[in-house]
Amino acid sequence: GESVGLHLPTLSVQEGDNSIINCAYSNSASDYFIWYKQESGKGPQFIIDIRSNMDKRQGQRVTVLLNKTVKHLSLQIAATQPGDSAVYFCAEGRDDKIIFGKGTRLHILP
Amino acid sequence: DVKVTQSSRYLVKRTGEKVFLECVQDMDHENMFWYRQDPGLGLRLIYFSYDVKMKEKGDIPEGYSVSREKKERFSLILESASTNQTSMYLCASSLSAGGQDSYEQYFGPGTRLTVT
């Protein structure tokens, strides 16, 4: 079946370092790819998205890269801070619906 | 700021009870969604709605129904709660269908439902 998945369930990063969270997808028909952040006790929060006709998009301290050849998506967080500690979900947007991956927990080391 | 509120943060119900989960958004969004979130399974779409009185099945609609009588309110109904419906339920809303805005969903804080 079609799915959106993540390579690692947990990622530990030293505070101040850059974080890279990876994601694989299988459906090349998706229009958009999105990253959501979910902090403990809260609902997911939109971070950034990228259209399928782009390969890179930057936001504030975050960059999303899309490699359609290998169906790979990544989220890069620059200068990781304690407030970045959360579960990150990659997701595919298709037909106005979102299909979420299972999430990666980002753990910040002091 | 968009605000999506859910009627309860925690709910405990007995098997067989009828359960109503309410969701309200204050940004005049056309789209509203109900998900459940379970460890290891991520978020799974139960039902969604593009407009008042309109509903579409998501990936796991069995055992659930929904109601959207007003644009700002989307209710999830468990007709006869079962223990396998113990989960975190998340409501979301987004702007109109047909484009990038559809994928920027705003989520409520969630309702943790326990069915005993």
B104 vs B65, more confident:
B65
Q: Distance (Å) from the C-alpha of residue A1 to the closest C-alpha of chain B?
A: 13
Where are the extended beta strands (E) located within chain A?
4-6, 10-14, 19-25, 32-38, 45-51, 56-58, 62-67, 72-77, 86-94, 97-100, 104-109
Which pLDDT score is estimated for B116?
Answer: 97
pLDDT of B60 over the 90 cut: yes
Strand arrangement, sheet containing B19-25: B4-6, B19-25, B73-78, B65-70
Interface of B with A in 72-91 (CB under 8 A): 90
**Which residue ranges of chain A lie beneath pLDDT 70?**
1-8
Query: For B59-83, what is the mean pLDDT?
Result: 97
Q: What is the mean pLDDT of chain B?
A: 92
> B8 pLDDT band (50/70/90 cuts)?
very high
> B10 pLDDT band (50/70/90 cuts)?
very high
Between CA A78 and CA A41 the distance in angstroms is: 24
Residues of B in contact with A45 (CB under 8 A): 107
Between CA A91 and CA A34 the distance in angstroms is: 5
Candidates A31, A73, A98, A100, partner chain B, best to mutate (most B CBs within 10 A): A98
Which pLDDT score is estimated for B14?
Answer: 98
Partner A contacted by B4 (CB < 8 A): yes
A43 and B103 in contact by Cβ < 8 A?
Answer: no
